[in-house]
Amino acid sequence: MTCDDVDRTACPLRSAEWFAPRDLPGFIHRSTLTPVGLGRQELDGRPVIGIANSWSDYNPCNAGLKQLVEHVKRGVQEAGGVAFEFPTISLSENLIKPTAMMFRNLMAMDVEESIRGYPMDAVVLLGGCDKTVPAQVMGAASVNLPTLCFGAGPATPPVVDGAELGGGHAVWQFVDKLRAGSTSSDLDALESCVMSTVGHCAEMGTASTMAALMEALGLALPGTALIPATDGRRANAAAAAGRAAVTMARQGSPTIRELLTPEAFDNAIALLMALGGSTNAIVHLLAIARRVGVSLQLKRFDEISAQVPLIADVRPSGAHLVSRLHGAGGVPAVLAELKSWLHLDALTVTGRTLGTELDAAKPADGQVIRRAAAPLSRSGGIVVVHGSLAPDGAVLKVSAASPELFEHRGRALVFESIEELAGTIDDPELEVDASTVLVLRNAGPRGGPGMPEWGMLPIPKRLLAAGVTDMVRVSDARMSGTAYGTAILHVSPEAAVGGPLALVRTGDEIELSVAGRRLDLLVDEAELVRRRGGLREFAGPRRGWAALFDQHVLQAHEGCDLDILTATEEPPVSRPSG
Ligand code: FES
Ligand code: MG
């Protein structure tokens, strides 16, 4: 198809609006691209594929995308399209302060406005590290072009002392041993090897979880999510993604909103539970759903978790790294085992249904991927609790927690801030025992700000040395997808906006019941009213992004997006650039 005139009915491609007209704006748009080797000959009605690349020297998880993008471009060209790579913000989980989550929505805005503002008929999103994938999807969903996700892939961790290290999870376990004085190894040895290749964390942390969920949502080519970052098969998959994007652009479908249906979210949640995936995925799925006007509530996660078994034996819920899961058939093999819980008629980027795609899946091996009839656990990896301490809900990753703490009543020990916690948690005089409930507040979306991953509160040194490996912990923070322990997270509303978490005092009793899905503060109402009178109003930052974030961020149970970014139809770009 060529676009030799301005007749849009003859050329439905969106990019034709820029490149087809034989007028002054058309002249400017085409001639502007001469320095990058493009002109009338190439911009002749071929599908234009935008490639949003979150590669950065600051973000080794996504560093492989610098090479992989060349293979995506190769695929685009092979299929007869024109590729435009464009950079976006990159969020490096371990480096950016105060927390990557503070900038997820900013990255989403960057991606959204780049897609909306530039000529492209379809977009390939290149993400990897935790927040980069949801940020890209949120932004793309607000524009609604045909969209395909392709990830950086998991890193290949080294084998040390006979054990495969797994990035974050290995570090958390090592730090606990170090604090307990139970290892003679030193951190230096670990430092030089724990993150030894490009690629995201290699266990089922947030990055692997979000990559896998892209397949369940229908946004990624089946079987591509967990190919290791450095494996040549990922380069081939990148080319396949480029080719698929051209097909989608030619057809003008499926658009991302055609894929992001309520059924697709159900499929993604089922996979999340079967994988024992990251609690962060809950916040991200809630945010993505709001972008497309799907009414997804926290309780839906609990409903699906109650039905879907945990079948993937991967860390931190299980034993293996995700490369083993990939070897066992990857996401399609897990989904195929979950067929009876899935909406198989949900559409995918291939234009085929999820059910059709799963016909090619490997059968579960019964080990890394358990049979649904013989699961690791009969219910999924995450539960949602409500109660007087969390009226709008909180979450607990039961698959990485201690069952003996699931029904627990204990005395609260409250920390006002992460600094107070760091300064006192190892104080030998601290009144704490294994039954104490550790409480951290002012760590939520506004209070953190950005809801940092502080929810795996450290166990006091004295107790670690005595052999205590887990305690009930409660906070309005998040937790790394690679972390573990009986940590009740995302307590909503957060303390900074006056949630009941703000009213807890050291010595109060807190009761957790996983079976009853409850989290309660056992203090009578009159006393809580009295305490509420003494609360001070939270004063947020006044400048720049931090102020905008503070003024507009939604609570955890709503996905922490900005209220000004939730689903609305935007007018198409039709005025001349200028
Ligand atoms: Fe980037 Fe874990 S630090 S994925
Ligand atoms: Mg993290």
Ligand 2 centroid distance, CA of 484 (Å) = 12
What are the b/e assignments for 338-373, b being 16+ CB within 10 Å? beebbbbebbbbbeebbbebbeebeebeeebbbebe
What pLDDT is stored for residue 181 in this prediction?
A: 72
The atom number, within ligand 1, closest to the CA of 200 reads 4
The atom number, within ligand 1, closest to the CA of 481 reads 2
Verify that 345 and 492 share a domain, yes or no: no
Verify that 248 and 322 share a domain, yes or no: yes
Cα-Cα-Cα-Cα dihedral sign, residues 507, 513, 516, 518:
positive
What pLDDT is stored for residue 252 in this prediction?
A: 96
What pLDDT is stored for residue 171 in this prediction?
A: 74
Verify that 390 and 286 share a domain, yes or no: no
Cα-Cα-Cα-Cα dihedral sign, residues 364, 367, 368, 371:
positive
What pLDDT is stored for residue 175 in this prediction?
A: 74
Whether 570 and 116 have beta carbons less than 8 Å apart is answered as yes
| Rounded CA separation 261/281 (Å) | 17
Collapsing DSSP states into helix, strand and coil, what is residue 574? coil
Residue 300 domain flag? yes
Report which DSSP code applies to 312: B
What are the b/e assignments for 141-173, b being 16+ CB within 10 Å? bbbbbbbbbbbbbbbbbeeeeeebbbbbbbbbb
Q: Amino acid identity of 508?
A: D
Verify that 406 and 344 share a domain, yes or no: no
Collapsing DSSP states into helix, strand and coil, what is residue 35? helix
Whether 289 and 328 have beta carbons less than 8 Å apart is answered as no
Ligand 2 centroid distance, CA of 85 (Å) = 27
Residue nearest to atom 1 of ligand 1 (CA): 129
Burial of 23 (0-12, 13-18, 19+ CB in 10 A): exposed
**Angle made by CA atoms 176, 479, 460, in degrees to the nearest 5:** 35
Cα 364 to Cα 225, 227, 328, distances in angstroms: 17, 17, 7
The atom number, within ligand 1, closest to the CA of 130 reads 4
Verify that 354 and 393 share a domain, yes or no: no
Within a 10 A sphere around the Cβ of 519, how many other Cβ atoms?
Answer: 27
| Rounded CA separation 206/93 (Å) | 10
Residue 479 domain flag? yes
- Best residue for ligand 1 mutational test, from 95, 200, 479 (most atoms within 8 Å of Cβ): 200
Verify that 280 and 326 share a domain, yes or no: yes
Closest ligand to Cα 167: 1
Strands 147-151 and 383-387: unpaired
Strand partners, 395: 384, 489
ipTM topping 0.85: yes
Closest ligand to Cα 210: 1
| Rounded CA separation 340/335 (Å) | 10
- Best residue for ligand 1 mutational test, from 55, 56, 93 (most atoms within 8 Å of Cβ): 93
Contacts of 180 (CB under 8 A, 6+ apart): 461, 464, 465
Burial of 44 (0-12, 13-18, 19+ CB in 10 A): middle
Ligand 2 centroid distance, CA of 92 (Å) = 9
| Rounded CA separation 371/334 (Å) | 9
Contacts of 423 (CB under 8 A, 6+ apart): none
Residue nearest to atom 3 of ligand 1 (CA): 93
Closest ligand to Cα 453: 2
Phi, psi of 307 (to 5 degrees): -100, -35
Residue 191 domain flag? no
Virtual torsion, Cα 398, 402, 407, 410, nearest 10 deg: -120
| Rounded CA separation 518/495 (Å) | 18
Collapsing DSSP states into helix, strand and coil, what is residue 481? coil
Verify that 68 and 131 share a domain, yes or no: yes
Residue 208 domain flag? yes
What pLDDT is stored for residue 397 in this prediction?
A: 94
Verify that 329 and 216 share a domain, yes or no: yes
Residues in the chain predicted with pLDDT less than 70, given as ranges, are 1-11, 167-169, 182-186, 569-576, 578
Number of domains in the chain: 2
Whether 152 and 65 have beta carbons less than 8 Å apart is answered as yes
Continuous segment of H or E residues that includes residue 526: helix 525-532
| Rounded CA separation 247/76 (Å) | 9
What pLDDT is stored for residue 2 in this prediction?
A: 44
The atom number, within ligand 1, closest to the CA of 60 reads 1
Domain that holds residue 212: 46-158+196-359
Question: CA 228: distance to chain centroid?
Answer: 18
Ligand 1 centroid distance, CA of 159 (Å) = 19
Within a 10 A sphere around the Cβ of 198, how many other Cβ atoms?
Answer: 23
Virtual torsion, Cα 43, 48, 54, 55, nearest 10 deg: -50
| Rounded CA separation 56/72 (Å) | 17
What pLDDT is stored for residue 11 in this prediction?
A: 52
Collapsing DSSP states into helix, strand and coil, what is residue 125? strand
Residue 369 domain flag? no
What are the b/e assignments for 387-420, b being 16+ CB within 10 Å? bbbbebbbbbbbbbbeeebbebebebbbbeebee
Residue 165 domain flag? no
The atom number, within ligand 1, closest to the CA of 208 reads 4
Q: Which residues surround ligand 1 with Cβ inside 6 Å? A: 61, 93-94, 129-130, 167-168, 200-201, 205, 207
Residue 578 domain flag? no
Categorise residue 54: left if φ over 0, alpha if ψ from -120 to 50, beta otherwise: alpha
Give the end of a domain, one of 359, 392, 426: 359
Contacts of 59 (CB under 8 A, 6+ apart): 90, 91, 92, 95, 128, 129, 132
Q: Amino acid identity of 171?
A: V
Closest ligand to Cα 322: 1
Collapsing DSSP states into helix, strand and coil, what is residue 573? coil
What pLDDT is stored for residue 187 in this prediction?
A: 73
Helices assigned H by DSSP within 398-479: 418-424, 461-465
Verify that 71 and 114 share a domain, yes or no: yes
Residue 494 domain flag? yes
Verify that 414 and 300 share a domain, yes or no: no
Whether 293 and 261 have beta carbons less than 8 Å apart is answered as no
The atom number, within ligand 1, closest to the CA of 167 reads 2
| Rounded CA separation 375/553 (Å) | 38
Closest ligand to Cα 94: 1
Verify that 237 and 330 share a domain, yes or no: yes
Verify that 275 and 352 share a domain, yes or no: yes
The atom number, within ligand 1, closest to the CA of 94 reads 3
- Best residue for ligand 1 mutational test, from 54, 59, 61, 169 (most atoms within 8 Å of Cβ): 61
Residue 516, domain CATH: 3.50.30.80
Ligand 1 centroid distance, CA of 200 (Å) = 5
